Structure 1
Amino acid sequence: MSDDSLPERTAAPEARKEPPRDTRDSWIERFKLALGLKAPASIRDDLEDALEESEESATDDFTREEKRILRNLLTARDIRVQDVMVPRGAIVGIADDAPFSELRALFTTAAHSRVPVYGETLDDPKGMIHIRDMFARLDVIPLDAKVADIGLIRPVLFAPGSMPALDLLIEMQAKRIHMALVIDEYGATDGLVSLEDLLEIIVGEIEDEHDIVEDSAVELLSDGVLAINASATIEEVARLMSVDLETESDEHDVGTIGGYVTALLGRVPGKGETITAPNGMAFTILDGDARRLKRVRITPAPVVDET
């Protein structure tokens, strides 16, 4: 479909269909072949066996990063779309009757490559606009033209929050549509999911050209307590706190303090939540969202009086 015409929504929420079975089978078969795994009935069994053999073997067949990705893949089947979506209140979108000048300003300030377009509310979605399409016609679209009339709106997918995240990933790849709106049983918009959100389930956080690269931003508080970005490495935190974290982090195959805290709890903790490590250190979440941690306060383990 040409970007010069206004595309229709791909389907109403109630008409959304599962991807064809052969698409899913061929995707899994390609993945098995890429890993060199052959025939047994369950690819999950194949992966678990391969990882177990790798742990027991003197010569490790997988790198640390490969093992992390494979373990993520094994647990990904239990993750639902609602677990990784951007909630409705955090969606950055634009009304279809807004002027083109407002769309330009939104892309400048929002740091997103795609934004959803809606009618009166988010419950009346029209599609989405990609920043690349906007730049391609930046010089020919009048600033007062309505978003609905500029011919840049692309379709989006619709998915219930209970849908397995990997199923939506496969559907996005098959249909080449990289944004989905999460709808409830009444067709109202609950949230938004991008292809990047789904890929991060398997490969971890993806930084694109819009992400801000920050250092660990260490803030020393009182009595040995510090606040630090969750992206700080295990090695850096161990050095700052004068403790050994690397042995425990190796057991979880994580490299950042955010990954370590998430592994300790078995899920992404919420803002304000405190997690205590086996060594007695406490990690309080200062900032983060449903997908990842952003900033953590670390309190040293209490000193044991041995006298």
Structure 2
Amino acid sequence: MSDDRPTSRNPGKKSFFERLGDAFTGEPKDSDELLAIVHAAHKNDILDDDSLRIIQGAMNVSDLHVRDIMIPRSQMVSLELDETIKQWTSKIVSSGHSRFPVFGQNPDEIIGVLLAKDMLSLSLKNDFSESDMQKQMKGIIRSVTFVPESKRVNVLLRDFRSNRNHMAIVVDEYRGIAGLVTIEDVLEEIVGEIEDEHDDEAVTNITPNGAGAFIVQALTPIESFNEHFNTEFSNEEFDTIGGIVMHEFGCVPKRDDTIDLGDLKLRVTTADNRRVRAFEVSPRID
């Protein structure tokens, strides 16, 4: 008996995975050829925009170092060991973060990391006095991981996964505290910006950095930047100050690249090979 039943699959139409496989049959010799094939697959509608962005991000991660994606020290939200429980609670609630480096006697002495959930769990036990609570808080501080600025981001991600850590403190060549990096910072390089309910506050954040300088997030709206620095940059072409900075550079600038905008000097403090994240703003000195 012959089997003449029609198949549900159209034999003339290839599946997504078959088409993707066909796109890679050219056996690329290096990352540039592989990237060209990926772009060709996107152009031929084998990959959508999101898939292209994720593949590009995954390929770019191996070229990045921790210094390229870390949160600079000036922007770290940290706790001090001798602060009161009320002070800790205020910082935790206002920042919206879940992990906090805890400093000891000096700014370069990080003794551990506090998880907000640990503090919440301890706070629910109302039988502690203030002094007892302070002692208990010191007991829930977890160990901290230190990584050098030069560590590659793909290696860091592998370490995060194997050690089940979500945060590491970044140190410079002299073992000074340079900043911190989280697993979210790494994942954002692959999948793009991961926003939560606290990001709107961070986007407009302009924080003093000492000596009359400020750290400005690249996503700060131009209106907020103008209001703070008494400037008159137009928002007709760009919505954020980062857009203006990228336009003026004419390319994606690197860390420590500088540019003058009117009476201000801008120095890139955080950037990767796709975008600027933050920069330092100070008065221009001719």
TM-score for both structures, normalised by structure 1: 0.58
Corresponding residue for 2:165?
A: 177
- Call closer, same or farther: CA 1:269–1:119 in 2, change over 3 Å: closer
* 3-state SS in 2 of match to 1:123: coil
Deviates more, 1:165-174 or 1:264-273: 264-273
Contact kept, 8 Å, 1:72 with 1:203, in 2: the verdict is yes
Aligned 1:257-272 pairs, distance under 5 A: 257=243, 261=247, 264-267=250-253
Contact kept, 8 Å, 2:259 with 2:267, in 1: the verdict is no
Q: Pairwise CA RMSD of aligned residues?
A: 4.2
Corresponding residue for 1:113?
A: 98
Answering whether residue 270 of structure 2 is matched by residue 290 of structure 1, we say: yes
Which of residues 150, 157, 166 is equivalent to 1:162?
150
Superposed displacement of residue 54, structure 1: 0.9
- Call closer, same or farther: CA 1:134–1:271 in 2, change over 3 Å: farther
Q: Return the letter of the residue paired with 1:106.
A: K
What CA distance in whole angstroms lies between the structure 2 residues aligned with 1:65 and 1:169? 21
Contact kept, 8 Å, 2:246 with 2:252, in 1: the verdict is no
Superposed displacement of residue 264, structure 1: 4.8
Contact kept, 8 Å, 2:78 with 2:101, in 1: the verdict is yes
Answering whether residue 235 of structure 2 is matched by residue 227 of structure 1, we say: yes
- Call closer, same or farther: CA 1:157–1:195 in 2, change over 3 Å: same
Q: Return the letter of the residue paired with 1:265.
A: C
1:86-120 C-alpha deviation (Å, 9 max, x unpaired): 22232221122322222111112233221101211
- Call closer, same or farther: CA 1:227–1:271 in 2, change over 3 Å: farther
Q: Return the letter of the residue paired with 1:48.
A: L
What CA distance in whole angstroms lies between the structure 2 residues aligned with 1:269 and 1:184? 15
Superposed displacement of residue 80, structure 1: 0.9
Q: Return the letter of the residue paired with 1:201.
A: E
Aligned 1:9-88 pairs, distance under 5 A: 44=31, 47-48=34-35, 50-55=37-42, 59-88=44-73
What CA distance in whole angstroms lies between the structure 2 residues aligned with 1:75 and 1:259? 22
Contact kept, 8 Å, 2:221 with 2:239, in 1: the verdict is no
Contact kept, 8 Å, 2:172 with 2:178, in 1: the verdict is yes
Superposed displacement of residue 272, structure 1: 7.6
In structure 1, stretches of 5+ residues that fail to align are: 1-34, 233-255, 276-283, 296-307
Q: Return the letter of the residue paired with 1:154.
A: R
Corresponding residue for 1:151?
A: 139
Superposed displacement of residue 259, structure 1: 11
Deviates more, 1:174-183 or 1:74-83: 74-83
Corresponding residue for 2:177?
A: 189
Corresponding residue for 1:100?
A: 85
- Call closer, same or farther: CA 1:285–1:149 in 2, change over 3 Å: same
What CA distance in whole angstroms lies between the structure 2 residues aligned with 1:108 and 1:47? 45
- Call closer, same or farther: CA 1:112–1:261 in 2, change over 3 Å: farther
Between structure 1 and structure 2, the one with the greater Rg is 2
Identity %: 27
Superposed displacement of residue 133, structure 1: 2.0
How many equivalent residue pairs?
Answer: 226
- Call closer, same or farther: CA 1:207–1:287 in 2, change over 3 Å: farther
Answering whether residue 69 of structure 2 is matched by residue 90 of structure 1, we say: no
What CA distance in whole angstroms lies between the structure 2 residues aligned with 1:88 and 1:165? 18
TM-score for both structures, normalised by structure 2: 0.62
1:121-160 C-alpha deviation (Å, 9 max, x unpaired): 2322111112222222222254443367443212221111
Contact kept, 8 Å, 2:246 with 2:253, in 1: the verdict is no
Deviates more, 1:137-146 or 1:105-114: 137-146
1:206-232 C-alpha deviation (Å, 9 max, x unpaired): 1123222789967499xx962389767
